[in-house]
Amino acid sequence: MQNEEFLYDYIGKWFIKEKGCQNDDFCKGYVNNMAVGKKMIPDITAMKYEVNDNNVTPPINFRGYVVEVKKTENVIYEDIGKIVTNRSSPDWEWGFNSVVFYVAYVKEETADQKIINTCKKEGIGLLTLTVYEDTVNNICEIIKPEESLFSGISHRQQASPGNFQTAVNNSYISKLLKDPDGMNLIRPKKEAYATQHH
């Protein structure tokens, strides 16, 4: 089997399909090997944005999905340790409002109970992948992760197009956008978005 990077796009597309991360006019859906701050480069970072159709603050929420991937389970604890260390980093502030963290690995049969117990204890999601002839046939979410909450882009920063644009451009989430300058296009579309998605 190739190195684990060939798994990344399968997993990223799974987040678009199963978790509603958008690959649309604004957002790429996911990015591989995206730096967050100076020390963190998760294997996969996916994003889902939600436009609130009432006066809830902030008007646009950004939810992150972060995945560390290994080919085999015997090295998965390295990634669990990495997530436990990095998930409370201040580098996550001023971008996502919430983040969930996963480990993913290739498994022919059921996931190892010790790994399941460790992920449950740490609040980390677990994905197992079935691979045949270098193609991912199935991705199974064994454990759902717990959310980590962050400041995100505040209501005040989103209140005017200029402030919002500056906040987006200064944030790691700009790397997940097709055109960071186009994020303000969401603002006039809020009503249409809300009508379409309810």
**pLDDT tens-digit map of 78-135:** 999 999 999 999 999 989 999 999 999 998 667 789 999 999 999 999 999 998 888 8
pLDDT of residue 148: 95
pLDDT of residue 195: 53
Instruction: Give the SS3 label for residue 58.
Output: coil
Q: pTM, whole model, 2 decimals?
A: 0.89
CA pair distance 24, 196, nearest whole angstrom? 14
In sign, the C-alpha dihedral spanning 14, 117, 43, 133 is: negative
Other CB atoms within 10 Å distance of the CB of residue 79: 21
Per-residue pLDDT of 149-177, as tens digits, reads 998 988 888 877 788 888 988 999 999 99
Domain total of the chain: 1
pLDDT of residue 126: 96
Other CB atoms within 10 Å distance of the CB of residue 195: 9
Residue type (1 letter), 139? I
Per-residue pLDDT of 182-194, as tens digits, reads 665 565 555 454 4
Mean pLDDT on 39-67: 87
- DSSP annotation of 52: -
Expressed as residue numbers, the domain containing 89 is 4-196
pLDDT at residue 57 above 70? no
pLDDT at residue 1 above 70? no
Mean pLDDT on 42-65: 86
pLDDT of residue 25: 84
8 A C-beta contact, residue 71 and residue 42: no
The two three-digit tokens of residue 52, written as one number: 């609130």
More confident: 198 or 82: 82
